[in-house]
Structure 1
Amino acid sequence: MSTNVPLWVWAITLVAILGLLAFDFFFHVRQAHEPTLREATIWSAFYVGVAIAFGIILLIFGGTTMGVEYFSGYLLEKALSVDNLFVFLVIISSFAVPRVDQQKVLLFGIVFALIARSGFIFAGKAMIDNFTWTFYLFGLILIVTAGKLLAPEKEGDSGDADNFIIRLAKRFLHTTDHYDGDKLFTYENGRRVLTPMLLVMVAIGGTDILFALDSIPAIYAVTTNVYIVFTATAFSLMGLRQLYFLIDGLLDRLVYLKYGLSIILGFIGVKLVLEALHTNQLPFINDGEHVNVFTFDAYTSLPVIVGVLTITVVASLVSPKGKLMAAVRRVERLANGYLTHDYEGDPVERAAKYEAMLAAQNSLLRFDRVKVDAMMEEVGANWAIEKAERAHAEATGN
């Protein structure tokens, strides 16, 4: 198999990917339910296994270089996809999407991401083939992105769902404030209206486009083989829905992941700039001649990506800060869940949800009080708890 992959190979690959997406929808998502930990684990392992099996096939039939480039790209895109889950979590929490209906939102996000990234992949390939300065541009994008990951988050930067796109949608579309299962349309006062489910999908779709602007330049630093770029991206997105439910409780503990991604993106950005200098044809740089600089190959990228991700993930999981963040975020989500749930006059369910919030609050007693207060203030959990307490007092008369 050469770098010019035959059309029949492309056709088989596309049919396999579409088949997996169709299987996911008809057998897992069509019937709304909350996946169990066992279900999420099995299917996450399945999709990782499929990605590894595909990489082994590339190693056998395409050669070592293609295999190494694929696994480097897959790991890079998988890490960036996990970072996407943080924003998905914020959006889903902001819109208070019922747990049983979250699978449909996530599958839509994956399909939209695959479509958006496919467009950027082929656009990026066209730029690389026709413009000699493309690697300079890609490298600069990644270096700037790496710097932004290290910058302190400003209020509203963490994925506020009430963004420009959502405000437009709310203004021009007739939407209700209540969900009707996972339906996009429902009837209210005899009128057919849109449910908030559509707004959630619009928010996730909008963020996917922004993610593609970072992920595609990053993987083109690993390889310029468009087939490897596409398959590594596609397989990294497959199983992301199951991974969301599998590591839902661990996402908040990955407090150092953004630093690891910053190092990786910075490294890849520098790698692209060095490659651009090495093949330079711009007249205002070294009179249009190639610059004799050191460049990194695919065999260097893979251990760097693996090493940095391993260190940052392990450091996050053993970090006291990560454990505290996960505990505080859980309290916040339970408080918001109490506020947004439609109890339909069921006092037992209301009491159960309130008790769950109180139990999560009590779990914070094992941490340092000063650090807890600071973290609660940082994520806005105090406000959610106070509002939930007032709502519960009004509903129960206590």
Structure 2
Amino acid sequence: MRDLRTVNRARVLRTLYFDQPRSRQELAGLTGLSQASVSTVVGELITDGVVVEAGQVESDGGRPRVLLRVNPHHAAVVGVDVGETRVLVEVFDLTLERLAEATFPMSPDRQPADEVAARVLEGLHRCLAAIGPREVLGVGVGVPGVVEDGVVHAQTVGWHGVPLARMLREGTDLPLYLDNGANTLGQAEVWFGAGRGASDAVIALIGSGVGAGVIVGGALYRGVSGGAGEWGHTAVALDGRPCRCGALGCLEAYIGAYGVVDRYRSTTPGVPEDQEEALRALVSARTPEAERVLAETARYAGLGIANLINLFNPSRVVVGGWAGLLLGGRLLADVRAEVARHALRRPFEQTSIVLCELGPESVALGAATLPVAQFLATGGVRRPPRVERTGSASSTLR
């Protein structure tokens, strides 16, 4: 009976979270539960402070119906984006409205794990101090590379078996949820952005590096050890440009910000040292040199996305990441044309290629969904993981 009550609480809470406000009668129809069961569950959720009343709406001939919504003030969650150019820490309320943030620039050529952990903890303490006393469900962290039980393997930044969860545990006792940044971006876009409603999609993250979150049948595909989605390290040129992973011809070397800016610098003097400023300068330039670099980038991006379409047959490809949004704003039409040249005709016809709707900070937002997903799965009962999780609560995205 206890398990059944948890299942019913989770069903009602999840339904309300993604489709609010709703009345008890509407929740019964949406969840398939009896009105008596819904009333019991809602009563418990209101008593626990998870759900609150949100006004009334007129009904057809009867008493006005009371509307319900998730209480945004019930708890806070933290999302962290460990990027290659910055560490971003953000605190959100339970409905993922931003409350506080802290940003720490990082050199893309130097990311010592202990320095990254220190920045995350500093940002965490600074943001929590800014919002005052409040219950926190947990801290989600999006990182580059493969995550296994709190240990990060990120070859491009020189992290080989870095025990990041253990390092963070030295400065906080909050529940920790670590996952690949492309996966957290994917969850944010599927919950609230351009991926919403797509059960088969690929979320392509293009920053300094390149990755992808692959959603199959509504669930995130992880592979045997969480390493699925390393799209940036698929080869697109034999004996091609050197990649930071040590191989030659990786897609990342052609469309990641690191590789794009490097090609631009080789043809143009006076390019800004900062990677993001350099990419902005390239996108806004109209010189022949800039046009050649952008045209080559569009060709390889189109080839890479065509490979995703041929492999996974998604209904949607969502391009995000700070560099993906900068490049996509100018090149998306060219990229689509290149995809059409390389993808099989029928899968291409079934796929839409769109830009991320949640902006360049969606990795941190997606990381914050990891503790929220755990909270929804338990029906609003706080049962923090005893050990660090690898985003396992996000395996089923809805």
Task: Tell me which interval the TM-score lies in, with the shorter structure as reference length.
Answer: under 0.3
Question: Whose strand fraction is larger, Structure 1's or Structure 2's?
Answer: 2
Question: Whose helix fraction is larger, Structure 1's or Structure 2's?
Answer: 1
The two structures have a TM-score, normalised by structure 1, of 0.27
| Larger relative contact order (Cα-Cα within 8 Å, sequence gap ≥ 6) | 1
Structure whose CA Rg is larger: 1
The two structures have a TM-score, normalised by structure 2, of 0.27
